[in-house]
């Protein structure tokens, strides 16, 4: 006897498609770039490289960032369905069960804390704190106030300093400087994205720009925070950098990439277009990546 269930189509499990969805859930490329910051921080603090610590920092850091992104998408699945940029993500598109995503995020959290705790307790503590702030404070605030970007900048700034804490087991002026650099850098970076995606964000009720609109006042704040980022990046050249130092060549290199970064913020203030915001977004990524490379090379080549 043929039942209704016999006539239903059978959808075979596609491992490649599932892995692709997992990569989207964890925002794989973003997670790798964040982990790169942690590794740079470690290389700045370590006098000798411990491969096991470096590997643990990579794996634990990736698990923590991936967990944050997975929790974020689980919470915002309904809002993601409203935006063109995110409607094809695994959860809003219906390719992944929300329970599966929640379990995956939870397992990544436990795994990340466990791995980072094997380095030292403070590294695990800061890692866990970043997940908590990102998931429980930043994510809900995105529909309430533009100050969500300020709150989100805290967990976003932890990775660069996390590497230093992993290498030394302590927090001082040096990881504080690394934290401040990435903290202030996030404002021009994310406001450039907010400018580009303003219409899409408003569909979901997200309040990402400081004035609520892509206007001259927002552009001015982008320039302001960019200037602060550049100034703070030069502190290691002064007597206030602690063990974090810069050579004259390093300072010149930072000033050059800083001018490039600042140029694109001024162009946005002048043009006030999505295209200018897009160029600024890429310039901001190039800036922070090159800054970290310059810092590391300046230490190890001197």
pLDDT-based confidence at 14, cuts 50/70/90? confident
Tell me, what's the pLDDT at 1? 46
pLDDT the model gives residue 13: 64
What dihedral do alpha carbons 200, 202, 205, 207 form, nearest 10°? 110
pLDDT recorded at residue 239: 87
What's the distance, Cα to Cα, between the start and end of the chain in Å? Answer: 80
pLDDT digits (tens, 9 = 90+) for 214-258: 999 999 999 999 999 999 999 999 988 889 999 999 999 999 999
Q: Is the pLDDT of residue 262 over 70?
A: yes
For residue 127, the SS3 value is helix
> Residue 302 pLDDT more than 90?
no
pLDDT of residue 17: 84
Note the pLDDT of residue 65. Answer: 94
Mean pLDDT of the chain: 92
pLDDT of 126 above 80? yes
Q: Tens digit of pLDDT for each residue in 23-38?
A: 999 999 989 988 999 9
Structure confidence by residue, pLDDT tens digits, 17-26:
888 989 999 9
Predicted confidence (pLDDT) per residue in 73-117, tens digit: 999 999 999 999 899 999 999 999 999 999 999 999 999 999 999
The percent of residues above 70 in pLDDT, for the chain, comes to 95
């Amino acid at each position: 006897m043929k039942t209704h269930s016999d006539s239903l189509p059978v959808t075979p499990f596609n491992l490649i498609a599932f892995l692709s969805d997992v990569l989207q859930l964890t925002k794989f490329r973003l997670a790798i770039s964040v982990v790169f910051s942690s590794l740079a921080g470690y290389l700045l603090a370590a006098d000798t490289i411990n491969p096991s610590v470096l590997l643990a920092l990579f794996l634990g850091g990736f698990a923590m960032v991936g967990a944050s992104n997975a929790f974020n998408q689980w919470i915002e699945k309904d809002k993601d369905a409203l935006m063109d940029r995110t409607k094809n993500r695994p959860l809003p598109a219906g390719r992944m069960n929300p329970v599966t995503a929640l379990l995956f995020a939870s397992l990544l959290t436990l795994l990340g804390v466990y791995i980072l705790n094997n380095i030292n307790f403070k590294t695990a503590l800061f890692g866990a704190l970043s997940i908590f702030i990102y998931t429980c404070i930043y994510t809900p605030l995105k529909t309430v106030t533009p100050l969500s970007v300020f709150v989100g900048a805290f967990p976003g700034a932890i990775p660069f300093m996390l590497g230093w804490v992993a290498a030394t087991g302590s927090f001082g002026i040096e990881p504080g400087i690394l934290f401040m650099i990435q903290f202030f850098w996030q404002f021009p970076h994310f406001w450039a994205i907010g400018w580009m995606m303003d219409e899409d964000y408003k569909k979901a009720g997200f309040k990402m720009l400081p004035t609520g609109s892509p206007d001259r006042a927002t552009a001015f704040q982008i320039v302001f925070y960019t200037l602060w980022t550049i100034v703070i990046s030069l502190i290691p050249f002064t007597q206030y950098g602690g063990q974090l130092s810069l050579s004259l060549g390093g300072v010149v290199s930072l000033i050059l990439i800083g001018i490039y970064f600042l140029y694109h913020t001024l162009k946005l203030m002048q043009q006030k277009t999505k295209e200018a915001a897009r160029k600024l977004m890429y310039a901001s990524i190039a800036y922070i990546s090159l800054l970290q490379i310059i810092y590391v090379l300046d230490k190890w080549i001197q």
